[in-house]
Structure 1
Amino acid sequence: MKPRFLFRSPRIRRALLALPLCLPLAWAPLSAAAQSAPAAAPAAAAAPKVLRYAFQIAETGFDPAQISDTYSRIVASNIFESPLTYDFLARPAKLVPQTAAALPEISPDFKRFVLRIRPGIYFADDPAFKGRKRELTAADYVYSLKRHYDPKLKSPSLYQLEGAKLLGLSELRKKAVDNKQPFDYDTEVEGLRALDRYTFEIRLAEPAPRFHYFLADAGSMGAVAREVIEAYPGKSMEHPVGTGPFRLAQWKRSSKITLERNPGYRAVTYDAQPAADDAVGQAILARLKGRSLPMIDRVEVSIIEESQPRWLAFLNGQLDMLERLPNEFAGIAIPNDRLAPHLAKKGVTMERVPAGDATFSYFAMEHPVVGGYTPDKVALRRALALAYDSAAEVALVRRQQAVVAQGVIPPNMSGYDPTLRTEMSEYNVARAKALLDLYGYTDKNGDGLRDLPDGKPLVLEYTSQPDQQSKQLQELWRKAMGAIGVKIEFKTAKWPENLKASRAGKLMMWGVAWLAAIPDGSYFLELMYGPNKGQANHARFDMPAFNALFEKQQGMADGPEREAVMRELQLMGVAYMPYKVNAHRILTDLMHPQVIGYRRHPFLRDFWRYVDIDTTALEKAR
């Protein structure tokens, strides 16, 4: 009997009832002989292996050229494939070929990258291919990368390619914009071209020693087939067709995503290279090495935005794993950061790692209230940041499942300096008030609230989501602004709506997180690089001195000199405060005993192919 408290809240009850049933149906068509002989029962088919878990934020779609949110990219990374990927068990992260036959050939000046695609890789079947098997070729990557330059698609990942300055592509894009004509996919450019059926070349205007890391992100650089894009005009977000291990089977927007094994996926077996002293990694390898991938038949992802129903669904066995344990249940599930005995007795295991991310609130630099580079505007942002208590956020909202940030680059990334101490983490209400007084942000009409220097009301508008954690963060901001006499209002909408508005530069402030996709800390400095406005740079910070220094470090080899430049860039971010960076999270994932082989990778999103479901353990749990 289930505890009665599970059903007291109608909202929680509805969320639980919307989850997939625990008992997947197994079926198989009857042969003609079986149909003519009713007494002979057909052999029962093996129950499909299904991985069930939940996203806490709704997806936006599944076109690599149009998505930037983590959850959409997780799905896309399991459908599409990039030329490179990461060894699933190697720590530190190690690049390995995926559709490529080998790691790229890189010229000594880091301006030329050549990749050769393995023959015999095919896209999943689709009517667009008119009944023919469609082989992946070099031209598919040329087309897929060009799509990011198509102005019509407004790619949020374009900055990764434009920053590397692929020869001729930006000019091709500019021609389409200036002439108001469709982007020309058929014009060959020096910076991106197929040399033969299976080989393509990328040429850059300037050195980019770490450019090839971007070619390991299937969520943005995965190969699409031109025939599919053209067969379903305007529907690429909902009709993904790739070469990966899974294909989209069903999608109920913002509610349920179901993927199934791609029957045409090539023969790939489990292999990895964990460190010799990595006991966990070695144990996983010993158990799974040589197994055909993927090992599961289906993945069912529910969208459960609120923490409590997501937690209860895991406890009830309706989810096989709980990715990102909600902070409010840390004391119950992992007291003192160790797995609780009552969960251990059920065979639950945990994976706990630094997230490689930064949580922050941004100030829109083009907004007339909080934006600008003059001393008074800089003082306003720094005062607002000083009034906000990041340590309280870590303690009260994140329940110590994070560390307070000193800058935008998180631990375990190049450019991270563990000795760095900055104003970013400082909480000082008195200093915040003094800054506001000094620059004329005082109460001019006697209502007890501060006004702008010109006498107009000072009103902040903070955008957020309707989930419980977002409400807790709102309360911290309300309290912080109340302590310094600043009025703040909150605008609440669903994540996809906020993301769209933010890209368009329509928000004043928004609290979000940025998650690492590559091992290089400059991925976080991209948040402040001017040309990235509307893409990575949602704050729209654009300062020539920062931009020039950012470009300098992009071409530098790894080492102390580059680290020093990255430190300077972080300090510029602290000084001008386009982002109030609060914390770097620590993530805990919980797995029921039927989940075999799961391990959180710092950058790899497509883990589904590497896990198995132990159906025997699953039946025992039921």
Structure 2
Amino acid sequence: MNKARPAHPTRPQAMHKTRSTVQPPARRLGLQKLMACLSFSVAATAVFALGSGSALAQTAAAPSSEPKILRYAFRVAETGFDPAQISDTYSKTVAAGIFDAPLKYEYLAKTPKLLPNTLVAMPEISADFKTLTFEVKPGIYFNDDEAFKGKKRELTAADYVYAIKRHYDPLWKSPNLYLLENVKILGLSELRQKLMKAKKPFDYDQPVEGLQELGRYKFQIKLGVGDPRFVYQFADHAFLGAVAREVVEFYGDKIMAHPVGTNAWALAEWRRSSRIVLEKNPNFREEYYREQVPADKPELAAQVKALQGRRIPLIDRVEIAIIEEAQPRWLSFLGSEADVLPEVPFEFAGIAFPGDKLAPNLAKRGIQMTRFIYPEIALSYFNMEDPTVGGYTPEKIALRRAISLGMEVDKQIRLARRGQGIPVQGPSIPGVFGYDTAFKSEMSEYNLPKAKALLDLYGYTDKNGDGWRDMPDGSPLRIEYATQPNSESRQLVELWHKGMDALKIKMVFKSAKWPENLKSANAGKLQMWGVSWVASTPDNDTFLALGDSKSKGNKARFNLPAYDALYQKQKALPDGPERLAIMREAQRMMIAYMPYKMDIHRIFTDMSQPWVKGYERNVFVRTFWNYVDVDAEAQKAFLK
């Protein structure tokens, strides 16, 4: 899901702008070429959509002498770009291009591989996993900003120390603080609590044992709990990317709109929930393309070979539109107004890749396709503090399990997801440690008779004769489910309607934009909400954390000491049989109490235009923009 909310900062309504924002005329395909690209079922709509100007149609085909521009769209709006305040996928994607974490993942590696990013080498990690020592490369510089008063600002160890401390500052209400508190950086939580109790601002200059500068370029972290996988967090640029203290103090509560980092990109334009433009950071260090072709992707061989040794990023500008509805997003790609289409909308699977093979008309155009199981779980959560669906007594558990049994996951995959998914059995994803292909559970079960029997047994019957079940005490049973105003959400709502109507449970649906629902979820105001949770590291701890009472990702507000104990125990163990056994026990406990109805692991398909070179999907590398090129001549030839 990757969820987030700014703390106190006000949201500027005006467009955030730096450098040029003047756009050339929109690119257009001729009607005949466009009609050839579309099936007859959407052709008429395409003529209207592209004729009236789509959200992405803002940049003319650039000759080779002009900047290379990559255009694509987000399907959900961003919230802002401050690492201490964000955790939603879309905001983090942008922030990851601006801020630099100490480590990074190799882009084309088949299995996740950590590499030094701003470090001279991989960090030194003690045998008990409690001490991590990092050494930063000299000569890395922040993007220019007026906060630096005209001086060139070098990255130092102090910037990473400051970035970590910001998550402990109550001012920012970091949604990611739990990831640090889980490992107990010595002294930081205590400092936070002491200052909160005294009602004093967070003291960034107060020394703590667990986070120390050892020199201009070296810093050390000491943990109270050894975590063999904590090092993965240092590859998340939008979480632990270096932040300059001067910038935060200069912009104050408007920092969400003024990200300044050392990574390859700088925010050039921002129209909230509409358009984001990034341009090359002119101070970005010299880095060169050194990727190797994965064995299972021979079709990339020629493209990767052609990119070897070139300085990255290979393009000059990234333009991101916010297009929440699936059809305009799909049509903008077909009309060559987008260069990449991440996650082809499910409703177009039948015409885009029938039988999971690229459609012949798209293959003829040279469209490129890549498919992958996303490291996420699509789920619905129950607010465990809600008087209707929450609670830990048998009748409350029975209600949640009955509701879960009433959602037909197989039909959800067939209809709403167009076959692009596999059922979830528990808080675990394929391809990482802790996933068991043989494990089956009630989580994926559809069983109306069993659900009705549970409801009857625990007193959820129709007591006033209106045809709907009531609570055991006779009060009305009414469940409100939060959703979004888009086509995919509407299809899921229809399935929920059918399932709950069959059980005679009155479920009503309240639609709002995703950021609004997120804000309500963080405040504990939603009874149920359907979202997805995305792994930020290649380990199933991400999903077990959904049940940890200290986790900000725990939107269900599940709070069970026995579960917390299991979660913390597995976290401290290296991968092996002992950890696996504890992870399975924790999974079963979460399934039994059912704070989440976990539905599917989605299978996504990305598409790119023939002039985009080197595109591949690595779900742990948010900014693929660094590693792709745009062949402007091929683009111009196609659009003639």
Runs of 4+ in 1 over 6 A off after TM superposition: none
Match of 1:195 in 2: 214
Helix, strand or coil at the partner of 1:236: helix
Helix, strand or coil at the partner of 1:269: coil
Moved more, 15-24 or 175-184: 15-24
In 2, the alpha carbon distance for the partners of 1:255 and 1:436 equals 45
Match of 2:350 in 1: 331
- After superposition, where does 1:428-507 map in structure 2 within 5 Å? 428-507=447-526
Contact in 2 for aligned 1:15/1:304 (Cα 8 Å)? no
Q: 1:18 aligns with which of 43, 46, 55?
A: 55
Distance 1:339 1:431, change over 3 A: same
Q: How many residue pairs get matched?
A: 602
Task: Give per-residue Cα distances to partners, 1:576-599, cap 9 Å, x unaligned.
Answer: 000000000111000111111111
Deviation of 1:22 (Å): 4.1
Say if 2:426 is the partner of 1:407: yes
In 2, the alpha carbon distance for the partners of 1:511 and 1:478 equals 14
Match of 1:538 in 2: 555
In 1, the alpha carbon distance for the partners of 2:293 and 2:619 equals 14
Contact in 2 for aligned 1:110/1:208 (Cα 8 Å)? yes
Match of 1:123 in 2: 142
Letter in 2 for 1:201: Q
Match of 1:261 in 2: 280
Q: 1:216 aligns with which of 235, 239, 252?
A: 235
In 2, the alpha carbon distance for the partners of 1:455 and 1:11 equals 53
Task: Give per-residue Cα distances to partners, 1:494-533, cap 9 Å, x unaligned.
Answer: 011111111111110000001111111111111110111x
Helix, strand or coil at the partner of 1:17: coil
Match of 2:70 in 1: 51
Say if 2:583 is the partner of 1:569: no
Contact in 1 for aligned 2:62/2:636 (Cα 8 Å)? no
Contact in 2 for aligned 1:417/1:567 (Cα 8 Å)? no
Q: 1:298 aligns with which of 317, 321, 324?
A: 317
Match of 1:578 in 2: 595
Match of 2:384 in 1: 365
Say if 2:446 is the partner of 1:427: yes
Distance 1:510 1:613, change over 3 A: same
In 2, the alpha carbon distance for the partners of 1:510 and 1:573 equals 18
Task: Give per-residue Cα distances to partners, 1:586-618, cap 9 Å, x unaligned.
Answer: 110001111111110031112111111011111
Contact in 1 for aligned 2:54/2:332 (Cα 8 Å)? no
Task: Give per-residue Cα distances to partners, 1:53-110, cap 9 Å, x unaligned.
Answer: 0000000000011111101111000011100000111111100011111111000010
Task: Give per-residue Cα distances to partners, 1:282-305, cap 9 Å, x unaligned.
Answer: 544322121101110000000000
Contact in 2 for aligned 1:24/1:47 (Cα 8 Å)? no
Report the RMSD for the aligned CA atoms in angstroms: 1.6
Distance 1:8 1:287, change over 3 A: closer
Unaligned runs of 5+ in 2: 1-29, 36-41
Contact in 2 for aligned 1:276/1:282 (Cα 8 Å)? no
In 2, the alpha carbon distance for the partners of 1:17 and 1:278 equals 33
Helix, strand or coil at the partner of 2:509: strand
Q: 1:591 aligns with which of 608, 623, 627?
A: 608
In 1, the alpha carbon distance for the partners of 2:45 and 2:127 equals 66
In 2, the alpha carbon distance for the partners of 1:425 and 1:385 equals 8
Task: Give per-residue Cα distances to partners, 1:257-298, cap 9 Å, x unaligned.
Answer: 000111111111011345566535654432212110111000
In 1, the alpha carbon distance for the partners of 2:500 and 2:378 equals 19
In 2, the alpha carbon distance for the partners of 1:47 and 1:119 equals 33
- After superposition, where does 1:215-294 map in structure 2 within 5 Å? 215-275=234-294, 279-280=298-299, 282-294=301-313
Contact in 2 for aligned 1:50/1:297 (Cα 8 Å)? yes
Distance 1:180 1:24, change over 3 A: farther
In 2, the alpha carbon distance for the partners of 1:472 and 1:64 equals 34
Say if 2:183 is the partner of 1:164: yes
Q: 2:535 aligns with which of 508, 511, 516?
A: 516
Task: Give per-residue Cα distances to partners, 1:125-149, cap 9 Å, x unaligned.
Answer: 0011011100000000000011011
Contact in 1 for aligned 2:423/2:444 (Cα 8 Å)? yes
Q: TM-score, normalised by structure 1?
A: 0.94
Match of 1:614 in 2: 631
Unaligned runs of 5+ in 1: 27-44
Helix, strand or coil at the partner of 2:590: helix
In 1, the alpha carbon distance for the partners of 2:55 and 2:312 equals 30
Match of 1:38 in 2: none
Task: Give per-residue Cα distances to partners, 1:527-562, cap 9 Å, x unaligned.
Answer: 110111xx1111111101100011000011111221
Distance 1:8 1:209, change over 3 A: closer
Letter in 2 for 1:21: Q
- After superposition, where does 1:2-41 map in structure 2 within 5 Å? 2=31, 12=49, 16-23=53-60
Q: 2:564 aligns with which of 523, 542, 547?
A: 547
Q: What is the aligned-residue identity percentage? A: 54
In 1, the alpha carbon distance for the partners of 2:105 and 2:131 equals 21
In 2, the alpha carbon distance for the partners of 1:545 and 1:14 equals 59
Contact in 1 for aligned 2:276/2:320 (Cα 8 Å)? yes
In 2, the alpha carbon distance for the partners of 1:582 and 1:16 equals 37
Distance 1:59 1:443, change over 3 A: same
